[in-house]
Structure 1
């Protein structure tokens, strides 16, 4: 009953803001400055029935998600190695700090010079996500229970069991927390890179062309597409990641 009330309330809030948006668009009466949700939906449906629309989504989603996955794996592996070897952590501290602090626009311009526009979004999403995953991996491993680690050392627990039963429960909450931010940032930075680099058949190219032709409806439509695919990818990835957490395993066993 409570969940139904919450859903009803959320739906009402969304409808309220959509109505307010439509009223503002009608009152302004300028489709270049602001279009209403009806025009955006019309533009989206018109494009959704074309093959090019889905090719564009596949291109951008494929590049950005691949960049995220590569950064996710690299962040865990290198973060784990840096935790194991403190000298490696000291060695990596300057470049990781550099990646955290340098503006994304600077990376995009440099990447255009180095690798061109074809794989620009993949490269930028990797650079943005890697330091987040690396830092959260280090924090998660360091949060492992010292008493359990001491017990594992005394009883000579095999490294794999130590990793699974001690480090995994400590690491996963930090990884999930880091991924909540990193997933959104990967799409924001990846699309920004495409807008600047304008690779063919990309969402960034569509946004750039919407700006050139002053097509605000197309601009809003593609922005909506970005929000939807980013939210769907985030929900799916975090769901898969949470299934590996000790809490989800315990709940599953209780249900059985």
Structure 2
């Protein structure tokens, strides 16, 4: 029997789902870790990106600096952060994954606000809107599709990377994979490793699909039509 078939067999065993420390427990941990990491990333990335996009200055520099954090391996952060007062467990995992989530959130926020037609801003100012009113009533509603796109990218990246939490006793689906290596490939561990990998991949695909639907729902109909027309023109251009 191949490792893939062993993995499917492992997933089809109800006890592997319901036992303490089984798939359901690890899935819950994985989702909780990912949720808090993305939430922390939003709390940092969105305010900075929205402010810079509204000002129209400094956005490119901030995006470049944020993208430099992607050069820092998540594994390195997970190794270093437990040595700080955060200790081992979930807190350092959440912080490390939040650092990984900030760049797409910040970049899309800046891009979304800077992509707004300057004439739209001028028309709003001509109607007497203040800077704060312009941001709340005009810029943010038009930038919502970009914010949703950044959330979608960050969430999928975090869910896929959160499996590394097992390396610092942070829980999550990575514990299933880690336990499989502990059992040994010749003792049935290979099937468990494949099962854990499949669970992470399927969860990431599910999050991608749900947030793609969410992105479509929050995109105003007029912007959807404009995007389709632009795509049609691009395709029809020789």
Calculate the TM-score normalised by the size of structure 1. Answer: 0.72
3-state DSSP of counterpart to 1:144: coil
3-state DSSP of counterpart to 2:3: coil
Contact preservation (8 Å) 1:143, 1:170: no
Match of 1:117?
A: 88
| 1:103-156 alpha-carbon deviations (Å, 9 max, x no partner) | 222222222222233123322221111111001100110001101101111111
Match of 1:197?
A: 168
Runs of 5+ consecutive residues of structure 1 not aligned to the other structure: 1-25, 27-33, 252-256
Residues 86, 176 of structure 1: alpha-carbon distance in 2 compared, 3 angstrom cutoff: closer
1-structure distance, mates of 2:156, 2:224 = 29
Q: Does 1:225 align with 2:199?
A: yes
Runs of 5+ consecutive residues of structure 2 not aligned to the other structure: 226-238
Contact preservation (8 Å) 1:179, 1:238: no
2-structure distance, mates of 1:146, 1:87 = 14
Match of 1:31?
A: none
Q: How does 1:203-242 map to 2 (within 5 A)?
A: 203-214=173-184, 215-242=189-216
Residues 153, 197 of structure 1: alpha-carbon distance in 2 compared, 3 angstrom cutoff: same
| 1:66-97 alpha-carbon deviations (Å, 9 max, x no partner) | 21122124322221122345677588567524
Contact preservation (8 Å) 1:67, 1:125: yes
Runs of 4 or more, structure 1, over 4 Å off, are: 85-95, 158-161, 248-251
3-state DSSP of counterpart to 1:235: helix
Match of 1:5?
A: none
3-state DSSP of counterpart to 1:52: coil
1-structure distance, mates of 2:160, 2:39 = 16
Out of 16, 40, 44, which is 2:11 matched to? 44
Contact preservation (8 Å) 1:180, 1:234: yes
Q: Does 1:136 align with 2:108?
A: yes
Name whichever of 129-138 and 152-161 sits farther off: 152-161
Contact preservation (8 Å) 2:54, 2:113: no
Match of 1:107?
A: 77
Contact preservation (8 Å) 1:121, 1:189: no
Calculate the TM-score normalised by the size of structure 2. Answer: 0.77
| 1:31-67 alpha-carbon deviations (Å, 9 max, x no partner) | xxx5133x22221122124343212211121111221
Contact preservation (8 Å) 1:72, 1:133: yes
Q: CA RMSD, aligned part only?
A: 3.0
